[in-house]
Amino acid sequence: MARMGSSTTGRRVRRQFSDEFKEGAVRLVLDEEKTVGAVARELDLTPSALGGWVRQARADRTKGKSGLMKEEREELARLRKENRELRLERDLLKKVSALFARDQR
């Protein structure tokens, strides 16, 4: 029996959820003490997606003692992007300087 939203490979189509929906689902787990699996079944979510939202919410609620807070995750993503760009620039400069040095001979 095929599930709604699944493709021929059996994988679900990637869905987008509003912040309000995520907060409500997390509230059911954290505040009403329902299990991740039960809430995921009720809301037709994957347990892994809901579990990720719950981990993030716990980190935010505990000010980072149980994981990275939202601001820290955003900063980490920004720093990783900047690091990637700096490495590309460095590699380009190495190649250009090698070409320049070779032409000077």
pLDDT for the residue numbered 1: 42
Q: Output DSSP code: residue 74.
A: H
Domain containing 83: what range? 69-105
Amino acid, res. 100:
F
pLDDT for the residue numbered 103: 83
Residues 52-76 as b or e (16 or more Cβ within 10 Å = b): ebbebbebbeeeeeeeebeeeeeee
- Residue-level pLDDT, tens digit, the chain, 105 residues: 445 555 567 776 888 999 999 999 999 999 998 999 999 999 999 999 999 999 889 888 877 676 777 888 899 999 999 999 999 999 999 999 999 888 887
| Total count of domains within the chain | 2
Tokens of 86: 């700096």
User: Rounded to an integer, what distance in angstroms lies between the CA atom of residue 52 and that of residue 46?
Assistant: 10
45, 25 contact by CB (below 8 A): yes
- Do 76 and 96 belong together in one domain? yes
Which pTM was predicted?
Answer: 0.55
- Do 21 and 48 belong together in one domain? yes
